[in-house]
């Protein structure tokens, strides 16, 4: 059997590379312009390699009773890591993936095909435009993991966008977004303020060192109208090989401070990561 070899292709928004993991037979790392985007093990779809992906998995696990099929909308495709995870952990789920880079979708489908029984529909489209046109009350979960290079695009940070996400979710639905920031957390605080205009409940999940301002890193924003199962989520994130902290209630309101919601007119992308913030290996 021949050894897998790296694949490189020019896609719509840069150069994408698929690199095999020498330690796992059918596992691949996806990078775009050198920035790690996704990791997939075709033989173990429930294996989540990246810290933020593991935390997204914990949220998905606790968003509804175990094994219950969900209608999931993924904004941002990458290597389709979370759609594979949801298909494996919640069989029968219906999933839509919206990815602006058609070339990237083609690369992933060509080299990392989805399981035959996964009900996943791929849409090459802009995340906000697709969200604004989607049927109301059509999703149980919306997962936003959209980065232009290493930054969240500005048009996906505003009140109009947050309200579009809220419109698509069912009454007991959950929105979760992978964001990135560092102290003094101007971007992260602004996102909490923005989503507070559309949702009653907010939760933040991040590695303690990031929350203490020691380094740049990922943070998950969770928004819903119903109280989230904080205890279950906190147990999972604390016990993970990459422990994280769950902030909510008064502590989160203190963190938010006097941050203001973001309008389309003053929206900016998330901050540029410092050199070495997200590295391979």
State pLDDT tens for residues 27-68.
Answer: 999 999 988 999 999 999 999 999 999 999 999 999 999 999
Higher pLDDT, 281 or 48: 48
In three-state secondary structure terms, 265 is helix
User: What pLDDT digit, counting tens, does each position of 163-186 carry?
Assistant: 999 999 999 999 999 999 999 999
- pLDDT average, residue stretch 239-250: 96
Of 239, 204, 278, the residue nearest 54 (C-alpha): 239
Measured torsion, CA atoms of residues 207, 266, 11, 30, in degrees rounded to the nearest 10: 0
- 100 pLDDT higher than 60: yes
Q: Where are the alpha helices (DSSP H) in the chain?
A: 51-62, 81-89, 102-111, 127-133, 159-168, 186-196, 208-211, 230-239, 249-256
Beta sheet of 94-99, edge-to-edge order: 119-124, 94-99, 71-75, 139-144, 169-181, 217-224, 201-206, 245-248
Residue 101: predicted pLDDT: 96
pTM summary value:
0.95
- Other beta carbons less than 10 A from residue 94's beta carbon: 17
Peptide bond into 184 cis (omega under 30): yes
- What span, in angstroms and rounded, lies between the C-alpha atoms of 210 and 230? 20
């Amino acid at each position: 059997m021949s050894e897998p070899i790296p694949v490189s292709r020019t896609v719509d928004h840069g150069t994408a590379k698929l690199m095999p993991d020498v330690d796992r037979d059918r596992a691949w790392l996806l990078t775009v312009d050198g920035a790690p985007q996704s990791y997939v093990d075709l033989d173990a779809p429930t294996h989540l390699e990246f810290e933020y992906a593991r935390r997204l998995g914990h949220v998905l696990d606790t968003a509804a009773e175990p094994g219950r099929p969900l209608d999931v909308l993924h904004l941002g495709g990458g290597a389709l890591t979370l759609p594979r995870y949801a298909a494996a952990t919640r069989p029968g789920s219906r999933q839509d993936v919206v990815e602006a880079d058609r070339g990237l979708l083609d690369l992933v489908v060509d080299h990392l095909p989805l399981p035959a029984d996964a009900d996943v529909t791929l849409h090459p489209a802009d995340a906000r435009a697709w969200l604004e046109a989607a049927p109301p009350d059509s999703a149980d979960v919306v997962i936003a993991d959209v980065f232009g290079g290493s930054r969240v695009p500005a048009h996906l940070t505003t009140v109009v966008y947050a309200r579009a996400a809220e419109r698509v979710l069912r009454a007991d639905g959950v929105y979760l977004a992978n964001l990135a920031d560092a102290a003094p957390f101007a971007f992260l605080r602004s996102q909490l303020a923005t989503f507070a205009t559309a949702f009653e409940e907010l939760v933040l999940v991040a590695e303690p060192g990031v929350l203490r301002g020691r380094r740049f890193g990922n943070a998950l924003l969770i928004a819903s109208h119903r109280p989230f199962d904080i205890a279950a989520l906190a147990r999972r994130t604390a016990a993970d090989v990459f422990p994280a902290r769950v902030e909510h209630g008064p502590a989160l309101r203190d963190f938010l401070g006097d941050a203001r919601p973001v309008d389309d007119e003053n929206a900016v992308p998330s901050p540029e990561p410092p050199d070495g913030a997200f590295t391979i290996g």
